[in-house]
Structure 1
Amino acid sequence: MKDLFSSYRIKELELKNRIVMPPMCQYSVEAKDGIPNSWHQHHYVSRAIGGTGLVIVEMTDVEPDGRITDHDLGLWSDDQIDAFSKIVKEVHRYGAKIGIQIAHAGRKAQDAETPVAPSAIAFDETFKTPRALETEEVKGIVDKFRASVRRAVQAGFDAIELHGAHGYLIHQFLSPITNRRDDEYGKDLTKFGVEVIQAAKSEMPASMPLIMRISAREYVEGGYGLEESIAFSKVFKEAGVDMFHVSSGGEGPIGAAGRPGTHASYQTPLAREIKKALDIPVIAVGRLDDPILANSIIGNEEADLVAVGRGMLRNPYWALEASQALNKKVAVPVQYERGFRH
């Protein structure tokens, strides 16, 4: 029987359990240079010490004006590689694997003087109106994704995740709410995402999995639903995605923010349906803090991995605590053995 503490392998990536720390922005870069600092080092390494199988570093952007805020991480320069590499090495030291989420915020780049987007449509009245990208500029951003993925590979990450969810740039190209272009990127809403996927794969070893985070449904009038997300996910799978990290929302409310109302495991049915329709591994995410619930998702084969976000913000040792709740014997750091029964 598979359970939360069963090992898992995708391509050449081997995980000791099915527990994922999903990307969660820390807004903690101090010098606005996109380089991780001691906060990020402690934040990610502590979750590795705490027993997490796969840590995914927060949204890391391909250009300075592609960040949500100036205090976000970036990989637009070779000067940023070394600090990420140090985090990777320490996470590996404590038995976890580590991926990184590569992204561009598009119209949600709050600190950019003039954000860019597929079309000149503001997110809401509190956001700046973005400038619509020229066709050649879109191709240039694809190349920026390529370069950032190359740097992530150089830093030693075990997996790459592309952020195609939550109303950021790849999602903006996918959504009929935000993409009203009349060029090649408007006629085919998947084209930008496909090109980014292909660019990423061109820089990645064949042994390394490419994960894509998607919003499987939108919570706005005129937005897409599960049928449409299954369709574009098939296109992305064909382009090279190895696993989907299934979330929702972003062009309007994000479900995890409580609008619309949410309940435990509210996004898991979306992950299950995409897994079934595409015969592809998926990560479930969204109010999965209860170890018994998280374990049941794996045992019932609704998803292959389970991401625990807010639960890990509260408790870096969530995985070790879950092993106690589920009566699973796992390796505990010798320094902490007195705190756990055997």
Structure 2
Amino acid sequence: MTIKKLTLSPPAPGVPFYTPTQDPPAGTALPSNAEVPTVFTPLKIRALELQNRFVVSPMCMYSADDGHLTDFHLVHLGSFALRGAALTIVEATAVTPNGRISPEDSGLWQDSQIAPLKRIVDFIHSQGQKVGIQLAHAGRKASTLGPWNSHNGSEVALAEHGGWPDNLWGPSAIAWDEGYPTPKEVTVDEIKYLIKSFADAAKRAVQAGVDTIEIHGAHGYLISEFLSPISNQRTDSYGGSLENRARILTETVQAVRAVIPEDMPLFVRISATEWMEHSNQPSWDIEQSKQLAALLPDLGVDLLDVSSGGNNPAQQIKVHANYQIDLATQIREHLNKQGKKLLIGAVGMINNAEMAKSVVQNDGKLSGEKAETIEVDAEHGTTAKADLVLVARQFLREPEFVLKVAAELGVDVRSPAQYLRAPYRRKTQKL
């Protein structure tokens, strides 16, 4: 009798624990003669190679310990990578202690915060997936309570809650809303310190092994506050014109780009509009976002993550399924006309298979056997609305969202090796 020699799964490389190599990683489209929708085709951005177009968007969990990530974050973030998300981005991570949104926010302002981040990075890498981190400063919206901890209707974290309401920083001394602390207008020296803090945090992120970094310039946090003429009423070189209001972002991009590896992609998230067009005063809008986006490729930015709102409680959002995706599309079309090479990420209310597919679908479809890694500039000029699908709340509802979308679209994808006995089945398949 001939005894077959078993081929055992080798251990995942480069991690300090045993787990079998996921080869290929979960969420990878398997060889097939059927057409593979773009959302399950690879994308390469500098040295970052993604097997599909699904990204876990940064989501605040208000669960860190003095800025240090914990086992909660390991399980929370690891669950998405395990189930096929090609890139998982760690939540908004403060570059200074007073830059946290809440006392329980993630931070990367000191070296002791590297190790817990690295533990998460190691696990995500062990699954063959990629991990990024969003670096942020909350500005005048800092020192608030986690959403389940409001106190007598107030969202402000006072000193007794571990907050710092007397040490908020903003471009101008304008409070976020009535009942909120008035921030200190930062000096030019403090701006330089903030920019250096972003760069120092980026260095720590690189030490932890992340694959990409995103600079948070959205949702009414510090950089977003500088961009808006409503919240930024400075008269120096950081206020007034679009160029001046964008200066803190462009200088932060330059500082971060200078300290991360040349082959590491750099992302930026912005609010494409603050939804204040009704106010009859100058505000941040889609046209300025287009102008800003055109500046970013020459600064070394590879992808613009397009969100909206968050800088003013009087915002008026016309909500519909594609209200944020449409903003991303407008910016992408503007960049194409300008001949600028910048990838676009779309966010917002992406909660089903057809919607995820439609965001990134290209005219030219690739079969499973012919789906090759696509370089950064290969897709411009197509009809895709964006290049990556960034999903947040739907991953909270369904950590297996990638696998479910594949099943509903009829795409055969790899499941985690340990879960192969329980694959997601197409609607036409029997149990």
Instruction: Tell whether 2:417 aligns with 1:334.
Output: yes
Decide which moves more: 105-114 or 35-44: 105-114
Instruction: Tell whether 2:206 aligns with 1:173.
Output: no
Runs of 5+ unmatched residues, structure 1: none
Rounded Cα–Cα distance in structure 2 between residues aligned with 1:82 and 1:39: 15
Contact 1:193–1:236 (8 Å) recurs in 2: no
Residue aligning to 1:132: 185
1:79 counterpart (112, 115, 121): 112
Residue aligning to 1:149: 202
Residue aligning to 1:163: 216
Tell me: CA distance 1:69–1:112, structure 2 relative to 1, closer, same or farther (3 Å). same
Instruction: Tell whether 2:328 aligns with 1:245.
Output: no
1:203 counterpart (246, 259, 263): 259
Instruction: Tell whether 2:27 aligns with 1:20.
Output: no
- How far off its partner does 1:254 sit? 10
- How far off its partner does 1:339 sit? 2.5
List aligned pairs for 1:34-113, cutoff 5 A: 34-110=67-143, 111-113=163-165
Instruction: Tell whether 2:304 aligns with 1:269.
Output: no
Residue aligning to 2:17: none
Which of these two proteins has the greater Rg computed from alpha carbons? 2
Contact 1:64–1:74 (8 Å) recurs in 2: yes
Residue aligning to 2:401: 318
Rounded Cα–Cα distance in structure 2 between residues aligned with 1:226 and 1:218: 9
Residue aligning to 1:116: 169
Residue aligning to 1:281: 343
- How far off its partner does 1:74 sit? 0.3
List aligned pairs for 1:180-219, cutoff 5 A: 180-187=233-240, 188-219=244-275
Contact 2:227–2:284 (8 Å) recurs in 1: no
- How far off its partner does 1:336 sit? 2.0
Deviation string, structure 1 residues 125-171 (Cα, Å, up to 9, x no partner): 13211010111111111111110011011110000000000001111
Matched position secondary structure for 2:319: coil
- How far off its partner does 1:334 sit? 2.9
Contact 2:303–2:345 (8 Å) recurs in 1: yes
Residue aligning to 2:296: 236
Rounded Cα–Cα distance in structure 1 between residues aligned with 2:359 and 2:353: 10
- How far off its partner does 1:253 sit? 4.9
Contact 1:253–1:260 (8 Å) recurs in 2: no
Rounded Cα–Cα distance in structure 2 between residues aligned with 1:131 and 1:263: 37
Runs of 5+ unmatched residues, structure 2: 1-35, 144-162, 363-383, 427-431
**What code does the residue aligned with 2:63 have?**
S
Rounded Cα–Cα distance in structure 2 between residues aligned with 1:165 and 1:190: 12
Residue aligning to 1:293: 355
Rounded Cα–Cα distance in structure 2 between residues aligned with 1:53 and 1:16: 6
Q: Which has the higher contact order (CA 8 A, sep 6+)?
A: 2
Tell me: CA distance 1:313–1:162, structure 2 relative to 1, closer, same or farther (3 Å). same
Contact 1:248–1:254 (8 Å) recurs in 2: no
Deviation string, structure 1 residues 273-314 (Cα, Å, up to 9, x no partner): 212222421110000111111101111411100011110011
Matched residue pairs, number? 337
Q: TM-score, normalised by structure 1?
A: 0.95
Sequence identity percentage: 43
Rounded Cα–Cα distance in structure 1 between residues aligned with 2:330 and 2:285: 12
Contact 2:172–2:234 (8 Å) recurs in 1: yes
Higher share of residues assigned helix: 1
Matched position secondary structure for 2:350: coil
Over 4 Å off, 4+ runs: none
- How far off its partner does 1:260 sit? 2.6
Tell me: CA distance 1:254–1:143, structure 2 relative to 1, closer, same or farther (3 Å). farther
- How far off its partner does 1:95 sit? 2.0
Matched position secondary structure for 2:262: coil
